[in-house]
Amino acid sequence: MTRMTNPLILKLDQRDRLSDDEKRALENAITRIRVVEADEDIVREGDRPAESCLLLDGFAARYKIVSNGRRQISALHVAGDFIDLHSFLLKTMDHGVSALTTCRIAHVPHATLEKITDEYPHLTRMLWLDTLIDGAIHREWLTAMGRLSATAHMAHLICELYLRLKTIGRAEGDTIQLPITQAELGDTLGLSTVHVNRVLQELRKEGLIRFQGDALTILDWERLKKVGEFTSTYLSLQNEDR
């Protein structure tokens, strides 16, 4: 794990320059690295972890299961996301996180995070910011879910994922690799798989996207944004003093 390839540092550095000292502190915070296979849990609801998980590679989903067995995904995570940073302070996991694909996970002990908050105020703010952006994404999903049509909601999600992957250098032109099944998309959007299928076909028919296998290509970014009522403000992609 050289400094250059740590996707978290890459991401944070775009929001506000990190000092070498801070980068080193983050690098050194990592203890072990673990691989989790697709469909396995990375953290389970009810756990009280002593370390937080940083996703180095792969796709993961935070989810909750409700009584009738249905699942709701409340967040999708990509490389560079500090999956359960919040367990550092929330202590008890109120939801699970599972691997959608094979995932490489780095572990950061909560004790180390506490030391960072004692010694690196600016780095602390950057980590705090990371969780705030998670929150901003949640709010965006809430409004999409509550007030947009299924089609618009899907368009919105695609816009977001495209930009997030681009930020960490994982878009090739207009194409991203999105190894997510339609059932998983349904759990994310709160839709049935059947309806996910209908909605994807509509977006294809409208010439907005192509989606074959895992490769999702955006054919008309402007119109896709418009359909999904997407604005990127909430992703805080701008560099600012924080």
The answer to the question of residue 145 lying near its own copies (CB under 8 A) is: yes
The answer to the question of residue 182 lying near DNA (CB under 7 A) is: yes
Whose structure tokens read 């389970």? 44
The answer to the question of residue 203 lying near DNA (CB under 7 A) is: no
Picking from 95, 199, 105, the residue whose alpha carbon sits closest to that of residue 148 is: 199
- Nearest-angstrom CA–CA distance, 62 and 181: 15
Question: What would the x/- binding string for its own copies be over residues 104 to 143, using CB under 8 A?
Answer: ----------x--xx--x--xx--xx-xxxxxx-xxxxxx
CA distance readout (Å), 87 to 39, 41, 49, 60, 219: 21, 15, 7, 16, 39
Question: What would the x/- binding string for DNA be over residues 30 to 69, using CB under 7 A?
Answer: ----------------------------------------
- Beta carbon nearer to DNA, 109 or 190: 190
Q: For residue 192, how many C-alpha atoms fall within 13 Å in the half-sphere facing its CB?
A: 3
**What is the Rg, in whole angstroms, of the alpha carbon atoms belonging to the chain?**
18
- Nearest-angstrom CA–CA distance, 54 and 39: 17
Residue ranges that bind DNA, judged by CB under 7 A:
149-151, 181-183, 190-195, 197, 200-201
Which residues contact its own copies (rule: CB under 8 A)? 62, 64, 66-67, 70-72, 74-75, 86, 89-92, 94-95, 114, 117-118, 121, 124-125, 128-129, 131-136, 138-143, 145-148, 187, 189-190, 229, 233-234, 236, 238, 240, 242
